[in-house]
Structure 1
Amino acid sequence: MNGISLRDARVRYGPLEALHGVTLAAPSPGLTVLLGRNGSGRTTALRALAGTVPLSAGTVIWDGTDVTRLPAYERARRGLCLVPERQAVFGSLTVHENLELASQRYDFALDAYPQLKPLLQHRAGTLSGGEQRMLALSRALLARARVVLVDEPAQGMSPPVAARTYELLAGLEACVIVAEQRLPPGLRHRTPVLVYELRRGTVVFGGEADEQARR
Protein backbone atom coordinates (compact mmCIF):
# COMPACT_ATOMS: atom_id res chain seq x y z
CA MET A 1 0.00 0.00 0.00
CA ASN A 2 1.26 3.49 -0.86
CA GLY A 3 1.38 5.78 2.13
CA ILE A 4 3.19 5.92 5.44
CA SER A 5 2.83 3.83 8.58
CA LEU A 6 4.11 3.14 12.06
CA ARG A 7 4.55 -0.48 13.07
CA ASP A 8 4.87 -1.37 16.76
CA ALA A 9 6.41 2.06 17.33
CA ARG A 10 7.81 2.99 20.70
CA VAL A 11 9.20 6.43 21.60
CA ARG A 12 10.89 7.37 24.84
CA TYR A 13 11.56 10.79 26.35
CA GLY A 14 14.19 9.91 28.91
CA PRO A 15 12.66 7.42 31.37
CA LEU A 16 9.11 7.99 30.08
CA GLU A 17 7.66 6.05 27.16
CA ALA A 18 5.29 8.21 25.06
CA LEU A 19 4.26 5.60 22.47
CA HIS A 20 3.66 2.01 23.55
CA GLY A 21 3.87 -0.11 20.41
CA VAL A 22 1.66 2.05 18.15
CA THR A 23 0.63 0.65 14.77
CA LEU A 24 -1.22 2.81 12.26
CA ALA A 25 -1.28 3.19 8.48
CA ALA A 26 -2.22 6.23 6.39
CA PRO A 27 -2.94 5.70 2.67
CA SER A 28 -1.81 7.88 -0.20
CA PRO A 29 -3.70 9.76 -1.41
CA GLY A 30 -6.01 10.14 1.56
CA LEU A 31 -6.77 11.97 4.79
CA THR A 32 -6.06 10.38 8.17
CA VAL A 33 -6.88 11.96 11.53
CA LEU A 34 -5.03 11.19 14.77
CA LEU A 35 -7.36 12.00 17.66
CA GLY A 36 -6.48 12.39 21.31
CA ARG A 37 -6.22 14.73 24.24
CA ASN A 38 -2.99 16.45 25.19
CA GLY A 39 -0.55 13.77 26.31
CA SER A 40 -2.23 11.04 24.24
CA GLY A 41 0.77 10.61 21.92
CA ARG A 42 -0.71 12.06 18.74
CA THR A 43 1.96 14.77 18.38
CA THR A 44 4.69 12.26 19.13
CA ALA A 45 3.28 9.96 16.43
CA LEU A 46 3.54 12.79 13.88
CA ARG A 47 7.11 13.53 14.96
CA ALA A 48 8.02 9.85 14.72
CA LEU A 49 6.69 9.73 11.15
CA ALA A 50 8.64 12.89 10.30
CA GLY A 51 11.82 11.60 11.95
CA THR A 52 12.16 14.49 14.38
CA VAL A 53 12.05 12.04 17.31
CA PRO A 54 13.73 8.62 17.10
CA LEU A 55 11.96 5.33 17.72
CA SER A 56 13.24 3.19 20.56
CA ALA A 57 11.56 0.20 18.86
CA GLY A 58 9.43 -0.46 15.80
CA THR A 59 9.58 0.83 12.22
CA VAL A 60 8.41 3.60 9.91
CA ILE A 61 7.40 2.35 6.46
CA TRP A 62 6.95 4.78 3.56
CA ASP A 63 5.62 3.42 0.26
CA GLY A 64 6.82 -0.04 1.21
CA THR A 65 10.33 1.07 2.23
CA ASP A 66 11.71 1.04 5.77
CA VAL A 67 12.76 4.64 6.49
CA THR A 68 13.18 4.27 10.27
CA ARG A 69 16.85 5.25 10.14
CA LEU A 70 16.38 7.98 7.53
CA PRO A 71 16.99 11.40 9.16
CA ALA A 72 14.28 14.05 9.16
CA TYR A 73 16.02 16.28 6.60
CA GLU A 74 16.26 13.37 4.16
CA ARG A 75 12.55 12.55 4.61
CA ALA A 76 11.80 16.21 3.91
CA ARG A 77 13.95 16.12 0.79
CA ARG A 78 12.01 13.10 -0.42
CA GLY A 79 8.69 14.94 -0.06
CA LEU A 80 7.57 14.85 3.58
CA CYS A 81 6.28 18.11 5.05
CA LEU A 82 5.67 18.57 8.81
CA VAL A 83 3.65 21.56 10.06
CA PRO A 84 4.14 21.63 13.85
CA GLU A 85 1.68 23.20 16.26
CA ARG A 86 4.14 25.97 17.18
CA GLN A 87 6.93 27.83 15.36
CA ALA A 88 5.63 26.75 11.96
CA VAL A 89 6.56 30.03 10.22
CA PHE A 90 9.65 32.24 10.09
CA GLY A 91 8.57 35.02 12.43
CA SER A 92 11.25 37.55 11.42
CA LEU A 93 10.35 37.28 7.71
CA THR A 94 7.38 38.89 6.02
CA VAL A 95 4.37 36.88 4.83
CA HIS A 96 5.60 37.42 1.25
CA GLU A 97 9.07 36.10 2.13
CA ASN A 98 7.63 33.06 3.92
CA LEU A 99 5.54 32.19 0.86
CA GLU A 100 8.39 32.87 -1.55
CA LEU A 101 10.57 30.35 0.29
CA ALA A 102 8.00 27.69 -0.60
CA SER A 103 7.38 28.79 -4.19
CA GLN A 104 8.15 31.76 -6.43
CA ARG A 105 4.52 31.59 -7.59
CA TYR A 106 2.15 31.57 -4.65
CA ASP A 107 -1.14 32.80 -6.17
CA PHE A 108 -2.72 29.46 -5.23
CA ALA A 109 -2.01 30.10 -1.54
CA LEU A 110 -3.62 33.55 -1.68
CA ASP A 111 -6.65 32.10 -3.44
CA ALA A 112 -6.91 29.51 -0.65
CA TYR A 113 -6.47 32.13 2.10
CA PRO A 114 -7.36 35.60 0.73
CA GLN A 115 -7.04 36.95 4.29
CA LEU A 116 -3.25 36.89 3.74
CA LYS A 117 -3.30 39.29 0.76
CA PRO A 118 -3.33 42.53 2.80
CA LEU A 119 -0.68 41.08 5.14
CA LEU A 120 2.03 40.29 2.59
CA GLN A 121 4.46 42.95 3.90
CA HIS A 122 3.78 42.20 7.58
CA ARG A 123 6.29 40.19 9.58
CA ALA A 124 4.91 36.72 10.24
CA GLY A 125 5.67 37.01 13.96
CA THR A 126 3.19 39.87 14.29
CA LEU A 127 0.24 37.86 12.89
CA SER A 128 -2.52 36.39 15.05
CA GLY A 129 -2.46 32.69 15.82
CA GLY A 130 -5.06 31.91 13.17
CA GLU A 131 -3.23 33.99 10.54
CA GLN A 132 0.02 32.19 11.31
CA ARG A 133 -1.76 28.85 10.82
CA MET A 134 -3.07 30.05 7.43
CA LEU A 135 0.47 31.03 6.45
CA ALA A 136 1.95 27.73 7.65
CA LEU A 137 -0.72 25.76 5.78
CA SER A 138 -0.17 27.88 2.66
CA ARG A 139 3.50 26.98 2.68
CA ALA A 140 2.61 23.29 3.05
CA LEU A 141 0.14 23.51 0.15
CA LEU A 142 2.77 25.15 -2.06
CA ALA A 143 5.36 22.49 -1.23
CA ARG A 144 3.39 19.85 -3.19
CA ALA A 145 4.66 17.25 -0.75
CA ARG A 146 3.95 13.52 -0.99
CA VAL A 147 3.26 13.29 2.76
CA VAL A 148 1.79 16.22 4.73
CA LEU A 149 1.72 16.02 8.54
CA VAL A 150 -0.12 18.81 10.38
CA ASP A 151 -0.54 19.26 14.13
CA GLU A 152 -3.86 21.03 14.88
CA PRO A 153 -4.24 22.69 11.45
CA ALA A 154 -7.25 24.86 12.30
CA GLN A 155 -6.04 26.20 15.64
CA GLY A 156 -7.12 29.83 16.08
CA MET A 157 -9.17 29.89 12.87
CA SER A 158 -12.81 30.91 12.54
CA PRO A 159 -15.21 28.01 11.78
CA PRO A 160 -15.58 28.94 8.06
CA VAL A 161 -11.79 29.18 7.58
CA ALA A 162 -11.29 25.92 9.50
CA ALA A 163 -13.82 24.20 7.22
CA ARG A 164 -12.01 25.60 4.18
CA THR A 165 -8.71 24.32 5.56
CA TYR A 166 -10.01 20.77 5.83
CA GLU A 167 -11.46 20.97 2.31
CA LEU A 168 -8.02 21.97 1.04
CA LEU A 169 -6.23 19.20 2.95
CA ALA A 170 -8.75 16.56 1.89
CA GLY A 171 -8.34 17.62 -1.74
CA LEU A 172 -4.57 17.11 -1.87
CA GLU A 173 -3.18 14.28 -3.99
CA ALA A 174 -1.00 13.27 -1.07
CA CYS A 175 -0.91 11.26 2.12
CA VAL A 176 -2.26 13.77 4.65
CA ILE A 177 -2.22 13.12 8.40
CA VAL A 178 -3.58 15.64 10.89
CA ALA A 179 -3.59 15.57 14.69
CA GLU A 180 -6.65 16.95 16.47
CA GLN A 181 -8.20 16.80 19.93
CA ARG A 182 -11.64 16.03 18.45
CA LEU A 183 -12.97 15.10 15.03
CA PRO A 184 -13.85 18.23 13.00
CA PRO A 185 -17.59 18.34 12.19
CA GLY A 186 -17.04 18.49 8.44
CA LEU A 187 -15.17 15.17 8.47
CA ARG A 188 -17.68 13.13 10.46
CA HIS A 189 -19.51 11.83 7.43
CA ARG A 190 -16.88 12.35 4.77
CA THR A 191 -15.66 9.23 2.96
CA PRO A 192 -13.04 8.02 3.07
CA VAL A 193 -11.39 9.53 6.13
CA LEU A 194 -9.43 7.23 8.43
CA VAL A 195 -9.36 7.91 12.16
CA TYR A 196 -7.03 6.60 14.85
CA GLU A 197 -7.78 7.56 18.44
CA LEU A 198 -4.85 7.54 20.83
CA ARG A 199 -4.98 7.40 24.59
CA ARG A 200 -1.90 7.39 26.82
CA GLY A 201 0.35 6.32 23.98
CA THR A 202 -1.76 3.48 22.62
CA VAL A 203 -4.30 3.19 19.78
CA VAL A 204 -7.79 2.60 21.22
CA PHE A 205 -9.73 2.95 17.94
CA GLY A 206 -8.96 2.62 14.26
CA GLY A 207 -11.55 2.92 11.49
CA GLU A 208 -13.44 5.32 9.24
CA ALA A 209 -14.67 8.71 10.44
CA ASP A 210 -18.36 7.82 10.35
CA GLU A 211 -17.70 4.80 12.60
CA GLN A 212 -15.85 6.99 15.10
CA ALA A 213 -18.64 9.61 15.01
CA ARG A 214 -21.18 6.94 16.05
CA ARG A 215 -19.20 5.87 19.12
Structure 2
Amino acid sequence: MTTLSLRHARVRYGPLEALHGVTLTAPGPGLTVLLGRNGSGRTTVLRALAGTVALSAGTVEWDGVDVTRLPARERARRGLRLVPERRAVFPSLTVRENLTLATAGPRPALDAYPELGPLLARRAGTLSGGEQRMLALARVLASHARVVLVDEPAQGMAPPVADRTYALLGALDACVVVAGERLPPPAPRGRTVFVHELRRGALVFSGEAGERRPR
Protein backbone atom coordinates (compact mmCIF):
# COMPACT_ATOMS: atom_id res chain seq x y z
CA MET A 1 0.00 0.00 0.00
CA THR A 2 1.05 3.59 -0.65
CA THR A 3 -0.56 6.61 0.98
CA LEU A 4 0.03 10.28 0.24
CA SER A 5 -1.22 13.03 2.57
CA LEU A 6 -1.27 16.75 3.17
CA ARG A 7 -1.40 17.98 6.77
CA HIS A 8 -2.58 21.55 7.42
CA ALA A 9 -1.01 22.59 4.11
CA ARG A 10 -0.77 26.22 3.10
CA VAL A 11 0.60 27.48 -0.22
CA ARG A 12 1.19 31.08 -1.21
CA TYR A 13 1.70 32.61 -4.64
CA GLY A 14 3.16 35.98 -3.72
CA PRO A 15 0.63 37.83 -1.54
CA LEU A 16 -2.18 35.35 -2.32
CA GLU A 17 -2.77 32.18 -0.33
CA ALA A 18 -3.98 29.35 -2.58
CA LEU A 19 -4.43 26.65 0.08
CA HIS A 20 -5.78 27.47 3.53
CA GLY A 21 -4.62 24.70 5.87
CA VAL A 22 -5.79 21.73 3.77
CA THR A 23 -5.63 18.25 5.29
CA LEU A 24 -6.41 15.25 3.09
CA THR A 25 -5.26 11.71 2.39
CA ALA A 26 -5.08 9.68 -0.83
CA PRO A 27 -4.89 5.94 -0.09
CA GLY A 28 -3.50 3.47 -2.56
CA PRO A 29 -3.90 1.39 -4.48
CA GLY A 30 -7.01 3.25 -5.55
CA LEU A 31 -8.40 6.38 -7.13
CA THR A 32 -8.77 9.70 -5.32
CA VAL A 33 -10.47 12.67 -7.01
CA LEU A 34 -9.68 16.31 -6.23
CA LEU A 35 -12.92 17.97 -7.24
CA GLY A 36 -13.40 21.68 -7.81
CA ARG A 37 -13.74 24.49 -10.27
CA ASN A 38 -10.87 26.54 -11.66
CA GLY A 39 -9.32 28.48 -8.81
CA SER A 40 -10.45 25.98 -6.19
CA GLY A 41 -6.91 24.87 -5.36
CA ARG A 42 -7.05 21.39 -6.87
CA THR A 43 -4.02 21.91 -9.14
CA THR A 44 -2.06 23.42 -6.26
CA VAL A 45 -2.76 20.30 -4.19
CA LEU A 46 -1.29 18.13 -6.96
CA ARG A 47 1.77 20.35 -7.21
CA ALA A 48 2.25 20.31 -3.44
CA LEU A 49 2.08 16.51 -3.39
CA ALA A 50 4.57 16.32 -6.28
CA GLY A 51 6.92 18.85 -4.74
CA THR A 52 6.78 21.33 -7.62
CA VAL A 53 5.38 24.04 -5.33
CA ALA A 54 6.62 24.73 -1.80
CA LEU A 55 4.40 24.79 1.26
CA SER A 56 4.37 27.93 3.37
CA ALA A 57 3.09 25.82 6.29
CA GLY A 58 2.09 22.21 6.94
CA THR A 59 3.55 18.94 5.71
CA VAL A 60 3.46 16.37 2.91
CA GLU A 61 3.58 12.76 4.10
CA TRP A 62 4.31 9.65 2.03
CA ASP A 63 3.48 6.43 3.87
CA GLY A 64 3.55 8.37 7.12
CA VAL A 65 7.01 9.86 6.51
CA ASP A 66 7.42 13.63 6.23
CA VAL A 67 8.71 14.37 2.70
CA THR A 68 7.93 18.09 2.71
CA ARG A 69 11.56 19.01 2.05
CA LEU A 70 12.16 16.19 -0.44
CA PRO A 71 12.78 17.73 -3.91
CA ALA A 72 10.41 16.90 -6.76
CA ARG A 73 13.16 15.03 -8.64
CA GLU A 74 13.72 12.77 -5.63
CA ARG A 75 10.00 12.07 -5.30
CA ALA A 76 10.01 11.16 -9.00
CA ARG A 77 13.00 8.85 -8.45
CA ARG A 78 11.02 7.08 -5.73
CA GLY A 79 8.12 6.39 -8.10
CA LEU A 80 5.94 9.51 -8.22
CA ARG A 81 4.69 10.64 -11.63
CA LEU A 82 2.93 13.97 -12.29
CA VAL A 83 0.96 14.62 -15.49
CA PRO A 84 0.26 18.36 -15.58
CA GLU A 85 -2.62 19.89 -17.50
CA ARG A 86 -0.20 21.46 -20.01
CA ARG A 87 3.27 20.65 -21.35
CA ALA A 88 2.96 16.98 -20.47
CA VAL A 89 4.76 15.68 -23.59
CA PHE A 90 7.96 16.54 -25.47
CA PRO A 91 6.50 18.46 -28.42
CA SER A 92 9.56 18.33 -30.69
CA LEU A 93 9.87 14.52 -30.40
CA THR A 94 7.73 12.02 -32.26
CA VAL A 95 5.07 9.98 -30.53
CA ARG A 96 7.32 6.91 -30.78
CA GLU A 97 10.25 8.80 -29.23
CA ASN A 98 8.06 10.08 -26.39
CA LEU A 99 6.98 6.53 -25.61
CA THR A 100 10.49 5.07 -25.91
CA LEU A 101 11.77 7.57 -23.33
CA ALA A 102 9.31 6.22 -20.79
CA THR A 103 9.22 2.50 -21.69
CA ALA A 104 11.04 -0.12 -23.70
CA GLY A 105 8.79 0.61 -26.67
CA PRO A 106 5.32 1.67 -27.79
CA ARG A 107 3.57 -1.70 -27.35
CA PRO A 108 2.16 -1.16 -23.81
CA ALA A 109 0.95 2.31 -24.80
CA LEU A 110 -0.82 1.00 -27.88
CA ASP A 111 -2.57 -1.63 -25.79
CA ALA A 112 -4.06 1.20 -23.71
CA TYR A 113 -4.56 3.68 -26.55
CA PRO A 114 -4.60 2.01 -29.99
CA GLU A 115 -5.53 5.44 -31.38
CA LEU A 116 -1.84 6.35 -31.08
CA GLY A 117 -0.78 3.63 -33.54
CA PRO A 118 -1.21 5.67 -36.75
CA LEU A 119 0.47 8.66 -35.05
CA LEU A 120 3.80 7.12 -34.05
CA ALA A 121 5.81 9.09 -36.64
CA ARG A 122 4.09 12.42 -35.87
CA ARG A 123 5.72 15.07 -33.70
CA ALA A 124 3.87 15.24 -30.38
CA GLY A 125 3.41 19.00 -30.67
CA THR A 126 1.23 18.55 -33.75
CA LEU A 127 -1.29 16.30 -32.00
CA SER A 128 -4.70 17.47 -30.83
CA GLY A 129 -5.25 18.16 -27.15
CA GLY A 130 -6.95 14.81 -26.58
CA GLU A 131 -4.21 12.92 -28.45
CA GLN A 132 -1.54 14.63 -26.33
CA ARG A 133 -3.40 13.58 -23.17
CA MET A 134 -3.46 9.98 -24.41
CA LEU A 135 0.27 10.12 -25.11
CA ALA A 136 1.11 11.63 -21.72
CA LEU A 137 -1.03 9.10 -19.88
CA ALA A 138 0.24 6.17 -21.93
CA ARG A 139 3.77 7.01 -20.80
CA VAL A 140 2.68 6.97 -17.15
CA LEU A 141 0.53 3.85 -17.41
CA ALA A 142 3.56 1.87 -18.58
CA SER A 143 5.94 3.29 -15.97
CA HIS A 144 5.01 1.07 -12.97
CA ALA A 145 4.76 4.17 -10.78
CA ARG A 146 3.89 3.99 -7.09
CA VAL A 147 2.06 7.35 -7.16
CA VAL A 148 0.31 8.89 -10.21
CA LEU A 149 -0.95 12.48 -10.10
CA VAL A 150 -2.98 13.70 -13.11
CA ASP A 151 -4.48 17.13 -13.73
CA GLU A 152 -7.59 16.93 -15.97
CA PRO A 153 -6.94 13.38 -17.26
CA ALA A 154 -9.75 13.33 -19.83
CA GLN A 155 -9.34 16.85 -21.20
CA GLY A 156 -10.05 16.94 -24.95
CA MET A 157 -10.98 13.25 -25.15
CA ALA A 158 -14.10 11.76 -26.70
CA PRO A 159 -16.44 10.33 -24.03
CA PRO A 160 -15.62 6.63 -24.72
CA VAL A 161 -11.88 7.34 -24.51
CA ALA A 162 -12.39 9.39 -21.33
CA ASP A 163 -14.29 6.48 -19.73
CA ARG A 164 -11.49 4.09 -20.75
CA THR A 165 -8.90 6.47 -19.28
CA TYR A 166 -10.56 6.54 -15.88
CA ALA A 167 -10.92 2.74 -15.95
CA LEU A 168 -7.20 2.37 -16.72
CA LEU A 169 -6.20 4.78 -13.96
CA GLY A 170 -8.55 3.17 -11.45
CA ALA A 171 -7.12 -0.28 -12.17
CA LEU A 172 -3.50 0.69 -11.50
CA ASP A 173 -1.73 -0.88 -8.55
CA ALA A 174 -0.77 2.60 -7.35
CA CYS A 175 -1.97 5.60 -5.40
CA VAL A 176 -3.74 7.58 -8.14
CA VAL A 177 -4.91 11.16 -7.62
CA VAL A 178 -6.75 13.02 -10.37
CA ALA A 179 -7.99 16.61 -10.42
CA GLY A 180 -11.03 17.80 -12.33
CA GLU A 181 -14.36 19.60 -12.30
CA ARG A 182 -16.53 16.48 -12.50
CA LEU A 183 -16.61 13.05 -10.92
CA PRO A 184 -15.38 10.19 -13.13
CA PRO A 185 -17.68 7.32 -14.17
CA PRO A 186 -18.58 4.84 -11.42
CA ALA A 187 -15.67 2.63 -10.38
CA PRO A 188 -15.71 -1.11 -11.12
CA ARG A 189 -17.18 -3.31 -8.40
CA GLY A 190 -14.72 -3.74 -5.55
CA ARG A 191 -13.03 -0.40 -6.17
CA THR A 192 -13.75 2.65 -4.02
CA VAL A 193 -13.29 6.20 -5.29
CA PHE A 194 -12.47 8.81 -2.65
CA VAL A 195 -13.34 12.46 -3.19
CA HIS A 196 -11.89 15.64 -1.73
CA GLU A 197 -13.84 18.68 -2.89
CA LEU A 198 -12.13 22.05 -2.74
CA ARG A 199 -13.55 25.54 -2.92
CA ARG A 200 -11.40 28.68 -2.88
CA GLY A 201 -8.46 26.85 -1.37
CA ALA A 202 -10.40 25.12 1.42
CA LEU A 203 -11.75 21.60 1.79
CA VAL A 204 -15.56 21.39 1.78
CA PHE A 205 -16.06 17.62 1.50
CA SER A 206 -14.05 14.43 2.05
CA GLY A 207 -15.44 10.93 1.69
CA GLU A 208 -16.42 8.20 -0.73
CA ALA A 209 -17.87 9.28 -4.06
CA GLY A 210 -21.25 7.73 -3.23
CA GLU A 211 -21.53 9.83 -0.07
CA ARG A 212 -21.24 13.16 -1.86
CA ARG A 213 -24.49 14.99 -2.56
CA PRO A 214 -24.65 17.01 -5.80
CA ARG A 215 -24.19 20.74 -5.27
TM-score (norm 2): 0.96
Tell me which amino acid in the other structure corresponds to 1:19: L
Structure 1 spans left out of the alignment, 5+ residues: none
Q: SS at the partner of 2:154?
A: coil
Counterpart contact for 2:2–2:174, Cα < 8 Å = no
TM-superposed CA distance for 1:108, in Å, is 1.6
Aligned to 2:158: 158
Report the Cα offset of residue 106 of structure 1.
Answer: 3.1
Moved over 2 A (4+): 184-191
Q: Does 1:90 align with 2:76?
A: no
* Structure 1 counterpart of 2:19, one-letter code: L
Which residue pairs with 2:113 in the alignment? 113
Whole-angstrom CA distance in 2 between matches of 1:154 and 1:190: 23
Amino acid at match of 1:155: Q
Cα-to-partner distance string for 1:166-188 (whole Å, 9 max, x where unaligned): 00000000000000111123349
Q: 1:35 to 1:189 in 2, by over 3 A?
A: farther
Match of 2:197 in 1: 197
Alpha-carbon separation, structure 2, partners of 1:141 and 1:191: 18
Deviation at 1:57, TM superposition (A): 0.3
Change in Cα spacing, 1:42 to 1:190, as seen in structure 2 (3 Å) is farther
The alpha carbon displacement at 1:105 in A equals 3.1
What TM-score does the superposition give when structure 1 sets the normalisation length?
A: 0.96
**2:60 counterpart residue number:** 60
The match for 1:34 is: 34
Instruction: Look up the match of 1:183.
Output: 183
Partner residue, 1:6 = 6
How far residue 11 of structure 1 moved from its aligned partner, in angstroms, is 0.2
Inter-partner Cα distance in structure 1 for 2:129 and 2:214 = 32
Mapped contact 2:96–2:106 kept (Cα < 8 A) = no
Please tell me the root mean square deviation across aligned C-alpha atoms, in Å.
1.5
The superposition leaves residues 106-146 of structure 1 with CA deviations (integer Å, 9 ceiling, x where unpaired) of: 31210110000000000000000000000000011111110
What do residues 3-31 of structure 1 show as CA deviations (whole Å, max 9, x unaligned)?
10000000000000000000000011110
Contact 2:30 2:191 in 1 (8 A): no
